[in-house]
Amino acid sequence: MSKKEKVLLGMSGGVDSSVSALLLKKQGYDVIGITMKLWDEEREDSCCNEESAYDAKRVCDILNIPHYSINFKDEFKKYVIDDFISCYIDGKTPNPCIECNKYLKFGKMYNMANELGCKYIATGHYARIDYSKKYDRYVLMKSSSIKKDQSYVLYNIDKNILPYILFPLSNYEDKSIIRKIAKENGLKVASKSDSQDICFIPDNDYIKFLSTYANIKSKKGNIKLKTGENIGKHDGYIRYTIGQRRGLGISYKEPLYVTNIDKDNNEVIVGTKDELYLDTLYANNINLQAIDSIQGDLRVKAKIRYSAKEASATISMVDSDKIKVVFDEKQRAITPGQSIVFYDEDIVIGGGKII
């Protein structure tokens, strides 16, 4: 770089974003650290509690870079919390990290970067951005660390800002290397554990959260087979998700799993293991990155959840915001509310919300 380009770095107080700050500074960037205050509740393993903000500031002090804590609680409630609640009311299973990435970490933070005169924004995510000759644009790609690849939860960010995003950890293949770098450079977060699950759910008890925060009360209803036969009672459909086996409280001649949630009739539909497998799904809220539109049938690899393996599929547009996905082989527990993400080798084509 001929001059020090300014970059706004999102810092959670964890080892990934802390080492990102170190690497960016060593690469010659003029780094500004920002920690978003998103939620009032405190959790030891949360990425947005007071201790995490303090850890981020302490790292910035060591590296001699400025650090700011910014209140984004209202935006977090609007785009993440409210969506989380409405999904469960609709009988879906949400992924709030995807909403947070879209609207907060790569939305509000990008706007703030512009206000501060920063050319780039950066985070400690494990993903890559590079220019693709094939697609003639900057594209989001899988991380070199396949075990830690987070491209799935980033598919929904605006493709227009990809040229202005930096992922300093993109080429590191093992998390242990990141911790080693932190330790060698005197960063006390080197051994800090990773944040787990959903940052705003105390004790990971989302039922308690929905009950106390959103005043959603569980209402008993029927558990049925797809034939309509009533075989038991449930304690509220918000307690169930597709593929669930435990906690059904019913006896049957063979193991049963949740295959559908009918929120209109307050019913949980169950079936055998075979009934969990489907080869077709539909998705909306589409966000395309590597391409501007889908013409005809397009062959891709697709993931139906963060932890799922990629599977070969054909996708096609049904209307302007609805995609049909047909898999070569049936997939287990396709879950409304979760995201499906499409890949061409390492490149993220785009994705959408399963309906």
pLDDT band at 1 (very low <50, low <70, confident <90, very high): very low
Number of H helices, E strands in the chain: 8, 17
Q: Which of 69-78, 93-102, 137-146 has the lowest mean pLDDT?
A: 137-146
Q: What is the pLDDT of residue 77?
A: 96
Give me the chain's average pLDDT, please: 94
**Residue 317 backbone dihedrals phi, psi, to 5 degrees:** -80, 135
Distance CA 313, CA 121 (A): 33
Contact 124, 109 (CB under 8 A): no
pLDDT band at 47 (very low <50, low <70, confident <90, very high): low
For the cut 80, the answer to whether the pLDDT of residue 248 exceeds it is yes
Q: Is 60 a catalytic residue?
A: no
Runs of H (alpha helix) within 90-158: 96-100, 109-115
Q: Which of 91-95, 141-145, 289-293 has the lowest mean pLDDT?
A: 141-145
Which residues, other chains included, contact 58 with Cβ-Cβ below 8 Å and sequence gap of 6+? 188
For 202-235, write each residue's pLDDT tens digit: 788 999 999 998 889 889 999 999 999 999 999 9
Q: What is the pLDDT of residue 276?
A: 97
How many C-beta atoms surround the C-beta of residue 327 within 10 A?
19
Q: At what angle do helices 15-26 and 175-184 cross, to 10 degrees?
A: 70
For 320-344, write each residue's pLDDT tens digit: 999 999 999 999 999 999 999 999 9
Distance CA 168, CA 17 (A): 9
User: Which of the 8 DSSP states describes residue 309?
Assistant: P
Q: Which residue in the list 47, 48, 100, 118 is annotated as catalytic?
A: 100
Query: Span 141-145, mean pLDDT?
Result: 90
Distance CA 244, CA 273 (A): 10
For 156-174, write each residue's pLDDT tens digit: 999 999 999 999 999 898 8
Structure tokens at 110: 């990008």
Contact 234, 250 (CB under 8 A): no
Q: What is the pLDDT of residue 147?
A: 80
Contact 87, 48 (CB under 8 A): no
Runs of H (alpha helix) within 64-124: 73-76, 82-89, 96-100, 109-115
Q: Is 136 exposed, middle or buried (0-12, 13-18, 19+ CB in 10 A)?
A: exposed
For the cut 80, the answer to whether the pLDDT of residue 45 exceeds it is no
Domains of the chain from N-terminus onward: 6-124+168-203 (3.40.50.620), 218-271 (2.30.30.280), 276-354 (2.40.30.10)
Contact 200, 193 (CB under 8 A): no
Structure tokens at 159: 């493709």
Nearest to 12 by CA among 106, 116, 115, 125: 125
Distance CA 49, CA 42 (A): 5
Distance CA 355, CA 93 (A): 11
Distance CA 260, CA 242 (A): 6
Q: Is 100 a catalytic residue?
A: yes
| Secondary element (H or E) of residue 91 | none
For the cut 50, the answer to whether the pLDDT of residue 190 exceeds it is yes
Tokens 């300014």 correspond to 6
Q: What is the pLDDT of residue 145?
A: 76
pLDDT band at 43 (very low <50, low <70, confident <90, very high): very low
Residue 105 CA neighbour count, 13 Å, CB half: 27
